[in-house]
Amino acid sequence: MAKAARIEAIELEMARTQKNKATMYHLCQLKAQLAQLKRQEIEAQMGGGGGGGDGWDVKATGDARVGLIGFPSVGKSTLLTKMTGTHSEAADYEFTTLTCIPGIIRYKGAKIQLLDLPGIIEGAKDGKGRGKRVIGTARTCTLILLVLDASKPVTHKKL
């Protein structure tokens, strides 16, 4: 069965299945299968070129590399999109960005690479919330720009 047909069959099965305590395990299994098939479909569409990696191995380009770091949902993706024109998904929920998304700014003849990194949380140094990967990618940057939201609680501002 082709992936598109399998995806459609799973979505139909999910729509037909009643949601209750007895069917929850089945629905979760279907969701996992659906996510795996969609991931494989996206990877197949992107092709084999580009040097591998899983979104974290971004090739350094330009004269400088700036990493956007901050708590979840503070506007890092919106800032990258507005400054570079590169689409970085932004939504009302936390952890919309799950990998490193690069963009390029041209300023007075210089090419500056901006990296939109996933939000970091308390315990990131211990690997919580992909923290070690975020910190490892941030270490490769020439400059780290800490993005904060002034409307968030004071606890976010205490670093």
Q: What is the mean pLDDT of residues 72-95?
A: 75
What is the structure's pLDDT at 18? Answer: 92
- The share of the chain scoring above pLDDT 90, in percent, equals 13
Distance separating alpha carbons of residues 104 and 85, to the nearest angstrom: 9
Question: Which residue bears the tokens 């069917």?
Answer: 23
Model pLDDT for residues 38-70, shown as the tens digit of each residue: 878 766 665 443 333 456 667 778 888 888 888
What is the structure's pLDDT at 140? Answer: 85
Q: Are 96 and 89 in contact (CB under 8 A)?
A: yes
Q: Are 14 and 27 in contact (CB under 8 A)?
A: yes
The model carries a pTM of 0.54
Q: CA 69 → CA 77, 79, 94, 97, distances in Å? A: 10, 11, 14, 12
Contacts 24+ apart (CB under 8 A), 129-136: 129/95, 130/98, 133/56, 134/69, 136/56
What is the structure's pLDDT at 13? Answer: 92
What is the structure's pLDDT at 30? Answer: 92
Q: What is the mean pLDDT of residues 101-118?
A: 87
Which pLDDT band, with edges at 50, 70 and 90, does 91 fall under?
A: low
Model pLDDT for residues 113-149, shown as the tens digit of each residue: 888 887 776 765 566 666 677 777 788 888 988 888 7
